[in-house]
Amino acid sequence: SVKEAGDYRFHESCFRCLVCAKVFQGGEKLKRDEWGGMVHVDHFDRAKMCDTCSKIISSETISSKQVFKDGRIVCLSCASDGVFDPKRMEEVRKRVWPTLAALGITVPTGDVVIRVVGKDVIDKQALKINARGNLRGLTLTTYKIVSDGKRTKTSFSHEIFILYGMPHIECASVLAHEYAHVWLNERFIEDTAPVVEGFCNLVSEATLVQEKGKLASIIRENMKQNNSPVYGMGYRRMKQRLAILGWPSLLAEMKLKSKPPKLR
């Protein structure tokens, strides 16, 4: 027999709590994820959620490949599309650049090394620049200024750290965010954290807009709903600015905030 819950229809055997595995009875309070998975409201705090797509994961069927060494847990579909090595990361890099180029974000002049790492590594590297939060990527830029009296030359090198195991689409959006930091860093553009991170999230969102499918729209929705004063409010503020200016003028406005270091 088939049960109905809102817009979803279930076989009776599937109409069960993903935490306690009991079939739902009439009148019970349920909580549902974006993918149709359901739990008793009382069991929601015990539910495991996919680190990427927020799908509720059944504790009965979880496999070892869904549990990462750094403590993250993902659903089977996100795990099967996860980017774990430099070769896949290179595919992701090629995927994001046409979008970035169309916005007016140019290829960096400095070398960029992309490292696919665990959360522990990102958190440790983040201490160097006082960054904190649920970081999925991080960019460290170093620069050198050489002058012979007449001419001054600035050279850059960048390290981008990206969490391993994110599915292709999420990985592309995080990498785009980090390349936006590289673009800002090579121009010595400075502003408050909400403006900087909000701008980088706009670049990130531009890659998600290209994608069909539910995962991209869920990641975008999470961006819109994010209540962080830096990443969430910063993004919403910069989104309003983009609506007024468009990309060419927004990039021009950001470039006006350039503060190159003075040679002593």
Of the three residues 80, 101, 121, the one that is the final residue of a domain is 80
Angle CA(104)–CA(135)–CA(143) in degrees, nearest 5? 55
3-state secondary structure (DSSP) of residue 152: strand
Decide if 19 contacts 12 (C-beta within 8 A).
Answer: no
In-domain check, residue 107: yes
User: Taking 50 as the threshold, does the pLDDT of residue 156 lie above it?
Assistant: yes
User: Which position has the higher pLDDT, 193 or 213?
Assistant: 193
Residue pLDDT, tens place only, 45-76: 767 788 888 787 777 678 888 888 888 888 88
| Encoded amino acid at 241, one letter | R
pTM for the model:
0.84
| Encoded amino acid at 78, one letter | C
137 and 109 share one domain: yes
Of the three residues 58, 80, 102, the one that is the final residue of a domain is 80
pLDDT of residue 3: 47
Decide if 226 contacts 64 (C-beta within 8 A).
Answer: no
106's tokens: 């140019």
CA dihedral 42, 32, 231, 127 (to 10 degrees): 50
Domain that holds residue 195: 82-255
Number of other residues whose CB lies within 10 A of the CB of residue 95: 18
214 and 87 share one domain: yes
115 and 231 share one domain: yes
Question: Environment class of residue 105 by beta-carbon count within 10 Å: exposed (0-12), middle (13-18) or buried (19+)?
Answer: buried
CA Rg value for the chain: 22
Query: What total number of domains does the chain contain?
Result: 2
209 and 190 share one domain: yes
Residue pLDDT, tens place only, 131-150: 777 789 999 999 999 888 88
42 and 88 share one domain: no
Residue pLDDT, tens place only, 215-249: 899 899 889 988 899 999 999 999 999 999 999 99
pLDDT band at 175 (very low <50, low <70, confident <90, very high): very high
pLDDT of residue 150: 85
185's tokens: 């860093």
pLDDT of residue 212: 85
